[in-house]
Structure 1
Amino acid sequence: MPRYALKIEYNGGPFCGWQRQTGQPSVQGAIEAALARLEPGPHTIAAAGRTDAGVHGRGQVCHCDLQKDWEAFRLSEALNYHLKPLPVAVVAAAQVSTDWHARFSAVERRYLFRIVARRAPLTLEAGQVWRVNHDLDVAAMREGAAHLVGNHDFTTFRSVMCQALSPVKTLDALEIGTFEGPAGREIHARFQARSFLHNQVRSLIGTLERVGAGRWAPDDVKTALEARDRAACGPVSPPQGLYLTDVGYPEDPFA
């Protein structure tokens, strides 16, 4: 039974999240339903990360097992045909070894969070970025973010529903930059780590937004981190603006 890796792009707005849930639309459910149009199911796919409701994917990766030996391009084309009109697309496909796993073979995940600072409501970019109606001090946000890079106990910045066995994670990089986007000045925060805790990125962004707004000092981030207490976290950001952009493997299956 051949195994295939799929690189997935999706708009998370219409979905309850990646993970299949009874009676609710999910990205996983949409892809499994498309697979069932190609071969009798049931089909169960595994993903590199389970994104929450409203979170987008530009480089999500999952794998599936099929009976037929598909040419990768034809598989992606067939799935995209059956995914229409949902905002989900297979942007690449590749046959992989039967012991390759989208989640457990991954060695790196990267997320992007987009913030737009402007007073006017969003129209064309609505649901794609987090709009804040005040200026943000990016230099202060960078200073606060510097306390978060490295190996830490991130208890403060994980959901109380997080199922990870340990709150200790290594955040390899957190870079914050700006540029002029179509909706105005955008602030981009890019996160890189082997893995993340549930709600970790949104918790960190919500806290750093408080720093940028002048409500927190940059050193308050260090104090919150060292508290190891969820109550010390700043507000959790909304999901819009968050993208799973890349998943890294020892060998790129799509190369």
Structure 2
Amino acid sequence: MDRENSTPDRQQLLRLLQLSSPLLPVGGYSYSEGLEQIIDRGIIRDRETLQAWIDRELQTGAIRIETAMVDRAYLAGMAGDLERACYWNQWLSAARETEELRLQSWQMGGSLVKLALELTPEIADSISAIGNPCNYAIAFGVVAQSWQIDRDATILAYLHTWVANQLGVGIKSIPLGQTAGQQILWHLQANIDALARTIPTLADGDLYACSWGLSLASMQHETLYSRLFRS
């Protein structure tokens, strides 16, 4: 192997691992996106029901829209069309079904923007053009493109991170063992890959989701008597 020619790919991989790391200080681990409420009601109660919920969300839920926004922000950054990235940022804010989900996206997006500017100040113009508040999916796409991370890998990483966060909620709240969480993640790999392949093909007219269950759970979660998670 030509080590010199392989260096850019290795650098991309390292940047991708950092961007998708659970150590990234954006606070994703503190949100359940309504899942804690559903677990409290007994709708999700074991490994099978948790896996089925995440699988349905991958097929028809809001994560499809979020990931499509990651891709659109990535393409806007690549084309230097940051007005387009700003448009999709505003679109995603308006498309959020609940205040809780919107505030989560803004908080995580703001944290990622702050970190990215600390690490790579040269992207300040790109970030500022998006506007404030910045949704997490938009920030993720713009930062990934600025860091020259592969487009397809960016999509996969975003989906994998979301699934891992949802599994973390289930492991703590049901509760489940760590092995059960890894078994679910293993079995969902094909579903994650299938959605990742679909995302770049979605036209603007395909940006819809069936996520009323998630929306109701998100709205009800703030009144849950005892909570481990913020939303």
Normalised TM-score (structure 1): 0.25
Larger radius of gyration between Structure 1 and Structure 2: 1
Q: More relative contact order in 1 or in 2 (CA 8 Å, sep 6+)?
A: 2
Q: Name the one with the larger strand percent.
A: 1
Q: Which has the higher helix share?
A: 2
